[in-house]
C-alpha cells in the first residue's frame, strides 16, 4: 500500500458569515452514524457557531488520553480509536478549544475525523459541503494566515509574536 498523503487542509470558520443554522452539526450527525463530532459553541447567547477539532500539531487530547486511543496519524489527522477509547472524558477536559463534544455516543468520545472517507476520495468534509452560508471552508491554514483579513496577522504586525 502506498504512503497516505499528508493533508494540511483544515476546517476554517468565517465568523462574519455563520448564521447559526446548525446544518454542519446535522450533516456530521448523519454522516457519522448519529455521533456529532463538533461542538455547537455559544457566544454569550448572541450566536451559535460550530467549534471544530483543529487537528493540532501537538494535540493535548492525545497527551491526556490514558489509553493511547487518541493519536496523530501519518496524514496529520488526530484520530480516535473506537476500540481503545474507554470514555473517561480526559480529552474533553484537556482540549484547549473545547472541541470534544460532551455528549458521548456509544460510550466513546466523539472526535472529528475530518470526514476521512470523503477527503481521501478528493472531497471536502460534510460540514463544509453542507454549510448554508459559506462560513466554513476547507483550506490550508497558511492561506488564511497570509490573507489581509486575518486578524492574527494584524496583531503580529504590531510586534506581538507567537511563542515558539
Task: Report the 10 Å Cβ neighbour count for 157.
Answer: 8
Collapsed DSSP state (helix, strand, coil) of residue 43: strand
- For the chain, the distance separating the N- and C-terminal CA atoms, rounded to the nearest angstrom, is 36
Helices (H) and strands (E) in the chain, counts: 7, 6
Q: How far is the CB of 27 from other proteins (least distance, A)?
A: 5
> At which residue does the C-alpha cell 462574519 appear?
16
DSSP 8-state symbol, 68: S
Q: Which is nearer to other proteins, 93 or 132 (CB)?
A: 132
Q: Which is nearer to other proteins, 16 or 57 (CB)?
A: 16
Q: How far is the CB of 85 from other proteins (least distance, A)?
A: 19
Q: Which is nearer to other proteins, 21 or 56 (CB)?
A: 21
Q: Which is nearer to other proteins, 79 or 126 (CB)?
A: 126
Give the interface with other proteins as residue ranges (CB under 8 A). Answer: 16-17, 19-23, 25-27, 29-34, 44-47, 115, 117-118, 120-121, 123, 126, 129-135
Amino acid at each position: 500500500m502506498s504512503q497516505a498523503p499528508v493533508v494540511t487542509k483544515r476546517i476554517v470558520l468565517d465568523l462574519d458569515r455563520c448564521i447559526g443554522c446548525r446544518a454542519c452539526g446535522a450533516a456530521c450527525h448523519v454522516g457519522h452514524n448519529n455521533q456529532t463530532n463538533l461542538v455547537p459553541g455559544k457566544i454569550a447567547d448572541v450566536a451559535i457557531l460550530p467549534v471544530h477539532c483543529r487537528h493540532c500539531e501537538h494535540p493535548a487530547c492525545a497527551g491526556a488520553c490514558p489509553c493511547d486511543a487518541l493519536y496523530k496519524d501519518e496524514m496529520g489527522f488526530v484520530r480516535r480509536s473506537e476500540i481503545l477509547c474507554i470514555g473517561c472524558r480526559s480529552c474533553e477536559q484537556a482540549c484547549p478549544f473545547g472541541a470534544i463534544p460532551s455528549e458521548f455516543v456509544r460510550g466513546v468520545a466523539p472526535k472529528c475525523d475530518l470526514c476521512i472517507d470523503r477527503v481521501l476520495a478528493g472531497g471536502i468534509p460534510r460540514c463544509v459541503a453542507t454549510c448554508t452560508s459559506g462560513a466554513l471552508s476547507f483550506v490550508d491554514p497558511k492561506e488564511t494566515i497570509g490573507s489581509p483579513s486575518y486578524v492574527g496577522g494584524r496583531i503580529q504586525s504590531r510586534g506581538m509574536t507567537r511563542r515558539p
